[in-house]
Amino acid sequence: MAIQWFPGHMHLTRKAIAERVKDIDVVIELLDARLPGSSANPMLAELTGHRPSLKVLNKEDLADPARTALWLAHYNALPDTRAIGLDASHATSAPFIDACRALAPLRGGMAKPMRVLVCGIPNVGKSTLINALVGGRKAKTGDEPGITRLEQRIVLADDFYLWDTPGVLWPRIIVAQSGSKLAASGAIGRNAFDEQEVALDLLAYLAGPYAGLVEARFQLGSIEGLKDEEVLEAIGRRRGALQSGGRINFQKAAEAVLHEFRSGGLGRITLETPTEFGAWLAEGQTRDAERRARKRARKNRQDPASEDDDA
Ligand code: G4P
């Protein structure tokens, strides 16, 4: 689905990360445990090179525990990578410090303090995590995605420094399924997408592995075999989302679906497994390569002497 977001301070943040990463020992990437693949920034690996990486699957209290286990195993099998699940509001610094020390065992002590960079998309829980780690109000939290803060350094221990970067989304989504999942999760400002479309996409996915949760939460009969619009209509009726003439107010019904998903009212849900995301990514990469080839061909037709500089 088409999602129009403004990449905002992406270039600035990209530059800031590229600059900072030269003096960094471990990169912590906060991911949303409900959509770990879709919430990972594809630019990050390119920017941070071969730095050891700690993947933090945040909001694990909202995610399906069986699927979180699959994602943790997936990331822990990658070289120079560790992964932990987390509920940021209850975080303590010990597991972070331990995981970072395991990734960069030669760092530590006043002469060689551990230097860690924290990255993550908007609303993934960076401020909540940093507040919990420092136990104060140094990092500002807010629920409007896209608020950019200046890079800040936080001292977690005498020999352990953490740099926070502004949360940014990337300008173009390669995995077609990711846009809608990011919107459902709350990572994208609400003006950038159509809530009814996102709710229908969400219901379409939930009808597979989580049909029982949808039926239970909205007190519906079996939704098996129903079209997504019919499920949304049934939800609207159940929730009394009606407009004049008794017609269903689909917008209100969509808002109810998104609210129940985001707040955990539907239950613990994860919108992708590593296998599903791997297949979507491969598809997206193929489509992206084709798009680039078409662009290159167009450019060459217009100016046969030009060098291809499409990124
Ligand atoms: P950001 O800095 O990465 O942009 O995210 P931030 O910490 O502001 O968190 C975004 C929202 O996600 C906040 O909710 C925050 O409470 C919630 N959150 C962060 N970590 C977790 C977690 O591990 N589990 C759950 N369930 N929620 C988490 P909010 O509705 O915007 O604010 P509030 O109602 O908490 O005040």
Smallest CA separation from ligand 1 atom 26, residue? 59
Locate the ligand 1 atom nearest the alpha carbon of residue 90 and give its number. 23
Q: What is the pLDDT along the chain (311 residues), one digit of tens a residue?
A: 666 555 556 677 777 778 888 889 999 999 999 999 999 988 787 888 789 999 999 999 999 999 999 999 999 999 999 999 999 988 888 888 899 999 999 998 889 999 999 988 889 999 899 888 887 544 444 444 443 444 677 888 889 988 887 777 776 778 889 999 999 999 988 888 999 999 999 999 999 999 999 999 999 999 999 999 999 999 999 999 999 888 999 999 999 999 999 999 999 999 999 999 999 999 999 998 999 899 999 988 888 776 555 44
Cα of 153 from ligand 1 centre, angstroms: 21
Could you report how far apart the first and last alpha carbons of the chain are, in Å? 22
Query: Any residues with Cβ below 6 Å from ligand 1, and which?
Result: 58-59, 61-62, 87-89, 120, 122-128, 141-143, 167
Is 311 exposed, middle or buried (CB count within 10 Å of its CB: 0-12, 13-18, 19+)?
A: exposed
The answer to whether 251 and 195 are in contact (CB under 8 A) is yes
Q: Is there a common fold for 9-164 and 173-299?
A: no
> What CATH number belongs to 173-299?
1.10.1580.10
- Protein residue closest via CA to atom 8 of ligand 1: 141
Please state the separation of Cα 29 from the chain's center in Å. 10
Q: Name the residue at shortest CA distance from atom 6 of ligand 1.
A: 125
Q: Give pLDDT, residue 157.
A: 84
Ligand 1: centre distance to CA 263 (Å): 10
Please choose from 121, 143, 169, 188 the residue to mutate so as to test ligand 1's pocket, defined by most ligand atoms within 8 A of CB.
143
Identify whether the C-beta of residue 20 lies closer than 8 Å to the C-beta of residue 165.
Answer: yes
User: Which ligand 1 atom lies nearest to the CA of residue 145?
Assistant: 4
pTM of structure: 0.89
Q: Which amino acid is at 208?
A: G
Tell me the residue type at 28. I
The number of the ligand 1 atom at minimal distance from the alpha carbon of 87 is 23
Asked if 117 contacts 24 with a C-beta cutoff of 8 angstroms, the reply is yes
Q: What does the domain layout of the chain look like in residue ranges?
A: 9-164, 173-299
Say if CB 121 and CB 187 are below 8 A apart.
yes
* Closest Cα to atom 19 of ligand 1: 125
The residues near 226 (Cβ < 8 Å, ≥ 6 apart) are 207, 234
- The domain 9-164 belongs to what CATH superfamily? P-loop containing nucleotide triphosphate hydrolases (3.40.50.300)
